[in-house]
């Protein structure tokens, strides 16, 4: 139970086999947990093999392995044995009654209410109606403030009219009505619960959660279900500080009206524009996925990859991604390296005696995305990819596609890659792109990383190398990297260095925090990711898929066998040529969290200039509340509410604004 000491648990002693005799004396390398850390507050004494302590946070049932192995830092599971056990930390509070779960009764008369943005409305469960008719919030210039609105009662499912007036201050200033925008949550197909990797080989149930934010209301809602509205206020960069007031008027076709009040305090601070922000967002792109969905739907009007028609499909999606703060363009330098076609053609001439490399598609892609605002980094996938023993190429002699088979490491493999890297480097230097290009690898084992690093460094020591690792490699590998991204629970104990760009990532192995869309998940997790990056001293956040759609239905998130949401952050409006991006609650809250990150940087710099170490310590305490276990426990909504209230207070601190 949360907060209460557990009865000490003594794990079994290791016996037999080739296990060191000293293992039961508690040699520190002889026991390992997977996941690597027990819930916060619990400890494992390796000398006595005892788990003890008082868990700080609630935790859904989670399976752990305790591995026992020989005294070798490079041990593998083949040289070890394990036992499996589960831990569940409960709150100790009684479960809500069915009446509580059924929500506050919906009003009979036409009525609107502000609701938290930290939730999805569930089609199969009537939402709570809070009855809050006034919004009070503080904001910085350049910041976006977002809330949900429910409209219930008679006429609430009519064709509604939603209008905002200017927000006016007593000093005569105004935030124009055009700064207030409205979208409409649509139900998407998610999962009944968040689970680990591959936990949905088949699906027999689905959850319908309002995550997609479309420009038009849904055509149909369940009977008696309230209408849903998503409101955003974009505070102008040139707004004067002060208090502003305005209203949102919601009218039904039958003439019913509900008015909501807004009181907004614009503080004398500014969020930097997207181009000047320091958060490093890296959501990997799969630009052929939406093309495949279009071509599947229109087999007689197919579009070729990297054509102008292809980029017309991509533009709204990647402009939105740039607005979120994306820094890296995902490129593919070898066919199949990340399950995607290459943007560079490898061409064998004279039966492989000579090689040519066609960069036409690569250049077009990099230049097009730079024009849309994604231009800080080129991530090149990959010298070691999903098909690391294959190099697909075009054979000019036979006029057909072939595959060169060779495992990573032997001379024939290295010779061809060295040839390519030399040519690729020359091309990048000519384009002025070499300094921002990173040869990127995804969850590559230690031995393969060592071979890849040796190959790359042999070609040129100035290449930048990136790795997203699941199990932490040793320090020799880490030191060789420029871009280091560690899995949420693996990166905690890894030493990184000042010259490196560091991020963390969440993957299918983690149920919370994550971008899953399931009934036991919460989109607030995405707003908390930048806070966690700040708490851990990272530059940003990485995830493997912004737009890896595999299903025909645009609002079905259940790609693959992982929990819904693992493959994408946003939606497409259709599979037609006029498809456009449909943002999600998750992507919008990630955006809000990134703005928080930038505000934290601005405040900390002002505190240093004002020589206020006391305020820095207070702010640091707020940041560090976003701990690994706190977010695993599902505490993101409460942590965000408290932390944003603290930010508001720090921004008001006497004299601090003068040190901007």
In the chain the domains, ranked by start, together with CATH numbers, are 9-89 (2.60.40.10), 106-270 (2.60.40.10), 280-580 (3.20.20)
Q: Nearest to residue 343, comparing CAs of 285, 409, 397, 399?
A: 285
Distance in angstroms (rounded) separating the CA atoms of residues 413 and 276: 41
Provide φ and ψ at 437, rounded to 5°.
-95, 135
CB-based contacts of 556: which residues, under 8 Å, 6+ apart?
A: 188, 189
Which pair of structure tokens corresponds to residue 495?
């030493």
Strands 328-332 and 354-358: unpaired
* pLDDT value at residue 95: 42
DSSP string, 320-381: HHHHHTB-EEEEESSTTTTSS--SSEEEEETTTTEEEEE-HHHHHHHHHHHHTT--SEEEEE
CB-based contacts of 270: which residues, under 8 Å, 6+ apart?
A: 140, 141, 142, 237, 602
Helix (H, G, I), strand (E, B) or coil at 123: coil
* pLDDT value at residue 84: 72
Q: How many CB atoms lie within 10 A of CB 585?
A: 27
pLDDT mean values, one per 10 residues, the chain (660 residues): 78 62 48 66 77 71 66 51 71 43 74 98 96 98 99 92 96 96 98 95 96 96 95 98 98 95 98 98 98 98 98 99 98 90 95 93 99 98 86 91 86 92 99 99 94 96 97 94 94 90 96 97 98 98 98 97 97 98 99 99 97 97 97 97 97 89
Quote the Cα angle for 532-534-540, to 5°: 85
């Amino acid at each position: 139970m949360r907060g209460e000491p557990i009865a000490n648990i003594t794990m079994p002693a290791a016996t037999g086999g080739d296990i060191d005799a000293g293992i039961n004396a508690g040699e520190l390398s002889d026991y390992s947990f997977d996941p690597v850390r027990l819930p916060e507050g619990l400890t494992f004494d390796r000398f006595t093999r005892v788990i003890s302590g008082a868990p700080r946070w609630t935790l859904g049932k989670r399976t752990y392995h305790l591995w026992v192995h020989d005294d070798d830092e490079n041990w593998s599971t083949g040289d070890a044995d394990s036992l499996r056990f589960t831990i569940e930390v409960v709150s100790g509070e009684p479960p809500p009654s069915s009446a509580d779960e059924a929500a506050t009764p919906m009003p009979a008369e036409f009525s609107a209410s502000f609701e938290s943005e930290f939730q999805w409305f569930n089609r199969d469960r009537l939402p709570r109606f809070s009855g809050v008719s006034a919004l009070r919030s503080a904001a910085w210039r350049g910041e976006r403030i977002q809330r949900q609105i429910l409209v219930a009662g008679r006429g609430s499912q009519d064709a509604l009219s939603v209008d905002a007036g200017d927000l006016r201050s007593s000093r005569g200033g105004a935030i124009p009505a055009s700064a207030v925008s409205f979208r409409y949550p649509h139900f998407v197909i998610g999962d009944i619960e968040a689970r680990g990797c591959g936990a949905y080989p088949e699906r027999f149930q689905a959850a319908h959660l309002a995550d997609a934010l479309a420009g038009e209301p849904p055509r149909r809602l369940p009977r008696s279900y309230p209408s849903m509205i998503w409101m955003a206020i974009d505070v102008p960069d040139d707004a004067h500080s002060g208090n502003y007031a305005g209203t949102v008027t919601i009218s039904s076709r039958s003439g019913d009206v509900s008015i909501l009040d807004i009181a907004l305090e614009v503080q004398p601070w500014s969020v930097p524009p997207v181009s000047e922000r320091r958060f490093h967002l890296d959501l990997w792109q799969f630009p052929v996925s939406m093309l495949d969905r279009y071509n599947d739907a229109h087999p007689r009007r197919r579009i070729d990859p990297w054509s102008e028609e292809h980029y017309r499909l991509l533009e709204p999606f990647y402009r939105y991604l740039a607005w979120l703060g994306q820094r890296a363009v995902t490129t593919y330098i070898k066919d199949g390296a990340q399950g995607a076609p290459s943007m560079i053609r490898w061409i064998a001439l004279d039966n492989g005696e000579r090689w040519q490399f066609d960069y036409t598609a690569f250049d077009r892609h990099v230049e097009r995305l730079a024009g849309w605002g994604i231009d800080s980094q080129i991530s090149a996938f990959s010298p070691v990819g999903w098909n690391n023993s294959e190099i697909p190429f075009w054979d000019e002699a036979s006029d057909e596609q072939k595959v060169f088979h060779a495992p990573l490491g032997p001379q024939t493999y290295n010779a061809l890659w060295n040839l390519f890297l030399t040519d690729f480097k020359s091309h990048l230097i000519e384009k002025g792109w070499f300094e921002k290009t990173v040869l990127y690898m995804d969850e590559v084992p230690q031995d393969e990383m060592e071979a890849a690093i040796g190959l790359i460094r042999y070609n040129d020591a100035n290449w930048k190398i990136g790795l997203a690792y699941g199990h932490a490699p040793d320090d020799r590998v880490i030191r060789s990297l420029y871009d280091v991204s560690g899995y949420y629970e693996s990166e905690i104990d890894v030493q990184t260095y000042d010259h490196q760009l560091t991020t963390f990532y969440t993957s299918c192995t983690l149920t919370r925090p994550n971008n899953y869309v399931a009934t036991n998940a919460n989109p607030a997790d995405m707003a908390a990711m930048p806070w966690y990056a700040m708490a851990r001293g990272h530059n940003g956040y990485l995830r493997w898929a912004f737009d890896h759609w595999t299903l025909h239905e645009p609002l079905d998130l259940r790609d693959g066998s992982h929990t819904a949401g693992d493959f994408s952050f946003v939606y497409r409006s259709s599979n037609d040529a006029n498809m456009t991006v449909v943002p999600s609650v998750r992507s919008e809250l990630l955006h809000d969290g990134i703005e928080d990150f930038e505000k934290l940087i601005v405040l900390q710099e002002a505190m240093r200039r004002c020589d206020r170490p006391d305020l820095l310590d207070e702010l640091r305490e707020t940041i560090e509340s976003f701990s690994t276990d706190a977010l695993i426990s599902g505490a993101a909504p409460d942590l965000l509410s408290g932390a944003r209230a603290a930010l508001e207070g720090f921004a008001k601190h006497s004299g601090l604004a003068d040190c901007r």
